[in-house]
Chains A and B, each alone.
Chain A
Amino acid sequence: MKVLKSLVLAGAVVSGVGQAADPLAIHGGWVREMPPGTENTAAYFVAHNRSDTDRRIVSAETAVADKTELHTVKHADGVMSMVQIDGIDVPAHRTAEFEQGGKHLMLLGVAERLTEGQTVTVTLEYANGDTQSVEFPVKRGTPMGHGQKKKKHDH
């Protein structure tokens, strides 16, 4: 298992090499470096659908986590709740963003701490059964205004 995990971390296996066109173009993906002693982390990316076919991401998995879930953060009256969702639509010629404090992949039960410099292979599954493997670098989170997208503060 450990050997397999290393291989997966190195991105040497399970990537969809040789497949025809990937369902979506995935850009800017990263996995949050884990503080010491923690088991969970999150992954973020931007998915571009350049095809004429609507796509829906229904699940994701990675060998480094026991479980990977799709989550979003809901804002209501100043209260934020993390809510599991059962899929994310990426309509034809549209883009879906997975970003900090918004939609994200939640990696639960990561046995070995992920640190900057590592790479994690994540397999996305679509509503039609297609899968797509992508490699995300592990990065330390950076504050807003320091490379990440800046959100406008509304009063």
Chain B
Amino acid sequence: MNLKSVAVPLAAVIAVVAGWWVGQFMPSGTPVSERLVRVSDSVGSGAPELAGGYVLHPARAIDAFSLTDDQTRPFNQHSLEAQWTFLFMGYTYCPDICSVTMTELAQVHRSIAEQGSTDATPVRSTFVSVDPKRDTLDRLQKYTAYFDEAIGGATGNSRQLEQFARAVRMVYLPAPNKPADSNYLVDHSAQVILTNPKGELQAIFGPPHNGSVMAEDFATIRQWWAEQS
């Protein structure tokens, strides 16, 4: 895998569109290139190759952000420390991709448990809702618990979500104030981010996700991380 073959998909993978798609607000014809954030960074050498994603080497620091989790506790950059965290942006009204990704994340946690690692560092997932108007914390709690107890929810207001998205190098576009239809859909990408126990951005998993493969990739990363430390 040469650098060029990685850089282009990586730039695309890192760019996450949490754009609110409601027909007239965001015509689906909007060129994707205009919605992407391209990073000049690329994957450094020495990082393990993954079957379902990319390792960022060196890991990238995550700027300050401030959300609230589904237990009404603050969820910020420090919440990511001393644990491995899979982060995924979505919304509970999304009936296909979000549920598919959550189902795969649940499989990630089951497979990691089956790996029986001696490493006691917790592995968690946080589903960050980009639809705070409808996704209350209580709703997020019920939704995430349905998939796996290792998965929690978090959200914030549009400013906070934008701050979070920037911190983890995604794009967040706020919702229209008055959607034309209460059943509005949110256009979002399905990438899953992994942060390391230092709270840094360590890997990115692109769709289609396969929980079993991601768990194997995670084992690779965890072992590599242990060798590095």
Interface residues of A (CB under 8 A from B): 32, 35-42, 66-67, 71, 73-83, 100-101, 104, 106-109, 141-146, 150-151, 153, 155
Contacts and interface: CB of A to CB of B under 8 A. Distances in A.
Contact of B187 (A36, A81, A107, A150): A81
Contact of A108 (B92, B97, B183): B183
B113 to A, nearest CB: 14
Given A35-B146, A41-B95, 14 more contacts: A32-B96, A73-B96, A73-B97, A76-B32, A78-B191, A78-B206, A79-B35, A79-B36, A81-B28, A82-B96, A83-B28, A100-B100, A108-B95, A146-B107
B15 A100 contact: no
B94 interface: yes
Interface residues on B, range: 35 or more
B189 to A, nearest CB: 5
B154 interface: no
A37 B17 contact: no
A143 B1 contact: no
A67 B183 contact: yes
Interface stretch (B157-165, B193-201, B210-218): B210-218
Which 3 A/B pairs are nearest by Cβ-Cβ distance?
A78-B12, A143-B107, A35-B146
A27 to B, nearest CB: 20
A48 to B, nearest CB: 22
A143 B97 contact: no
Contacts of B212: 143-146
B51 interface: yes
A81 B28 CA distance: 8
B9 A40 contact: no
Given A78-B15, A106-B95, A38 B143 contact: yes
B97 A80 contact: yes
A32 B100 CA distance: 10
B40 interface: no
B42 interface: no
Given A36-B146, A79-B16, A145 B94 contact: no
Contacts of A80: 97, 188-190, 207
Q: Which of A76, A82, A107 has the most CB atoms of chain B within a 10 A radius of its CB?
A: A82
A32 B95 contact: yes
